Amino acid sequence: SPHLPILPIPSCPASWDEMQAWFRRAIQTGQNLAIAYPPPPTESPTDIWQHLVGIAKYLSRTGKMVTRAQLSETLGIGDRPLQIGFRTLKRFGFEVTSSEEGVHFTWQPEPTLEYGEMAERSHHFSRLFKKSNSVVAISMKFHSPPFKRQHIN
């Protein structure tokens, strides 16, 4: 109903469970639910890739581990693009090991890796990343619950 008070969602829900909690809260309070958060800053796939490589090198040097959730949050990407990043890191010679504790990276630089091959591998990640984001967006479009659009002035 257009005259019900509005319950704004101020930040992007991290999961469908969190989104469902907002739906339940709106129903319980008799409010319309408004998605009212700004779009995320757009970082290019190349920038995300360079950030992932930097994190992987650092963690390899220090022997520290990180969780998938921490990586996803830091890079601003979901699990599927993160998986693509892991596969691409492996092509660069990283060993990526996942366990319950987290993700561990090991890297021995390849002295023979030519600049052209490095650029091609980076391009491979960017191409897959863009394709993955399109698939995720399309998947969300067709598998999301229907939303009623309402403009807030």
Question: For residues 70 and 101, is the Cβ–Cβ distance under 8 A?
Answer: no
Which of 1, 4, 37, 33 minimizes the C-alpha distance to 20?
33
Say which residue the tokens 């479009």 belong to.
141
Mark whether 31 and 67 lie in a shared domain.
no
Does residue 151 lie within any of the structural domains?
no
pLDDT tens profile 15-34: 889 999 999 999 999 999 99
Mark whether 71 and 124 lie in a shared domain.
yes
Q: What is the mean pLDDT of the chain?
A: 78
Does residue 51 lie within any of the structural domains?
yes
Q: The whole model's pTM is what?
A: 0.53
pLDDT tens profile 50-94: 999 999 999 999 999 999 999 998 998 888 899 999 999 998 889
Pairing of strands 103-107, 94-98: antiparallel
| Number of other residues whose CB lies within 10 A of the CB of residue 150 | 11
Does residue 119 lie within any of the structural domains?
yes
- What's the domain count of the chain? 2
Mark whether 25 and 90 lie in a shared domain.
no
Mark whether 49 and 31 lie in a shared domain.
no
| Number of other residues whose CB lies within 10 A of the CB of residue 77 | 23
pLDDT at 133: 46
Give residue 115's pLDDT band: very low, low, confident or very high (50, 70, 90).
Answer: low
Does residue 55 lie within any of the structural domains?
yes
CATH of the domain at 106: 1.10.10.10
- What angle (nearest 5°) sits at the alpha carbon of residue 35, between those of residues 30 and 38? 150
| Three-class SS of 1-69 | CCCCCEEEECCCCCCHHHHHHHHHHHHHHCCEEEECCCCCCCCCHHHHHHHHHHHHHHHHHHCCCECHH
Mark whether 100 and 136 lie in a shared domain.
yes
Which of 153, 137, 150, 143 minimizes the C-alpha distance to 33?
150
Mark whether 128 and 59 lie in a shared domain.
yes
Mark whether 108 and 55 lie in a shared domain.
yes
Mark whether 26 and 99 lie in a shared domain.
no
Mark whether 67 and 50 lie in a shared domain.
yes
The residues facing 9 across adjacent strands are 35
pLDDT at 4: 78
Q: How many helices (H) and strands (E) are present in the chain, helices listed first?
A: 5, 4
Mark whether 53 and 33 lie in a shared domain.
no
Does residue 150 lie within any of the structural domains?
no
Mark whether 62 and 119 lie in a shared domain.
yes
- Determine the structural domain holding residue 25 and report its residue range: 6-39
Mark whether 27 and 83 lie in a shared domain.
no
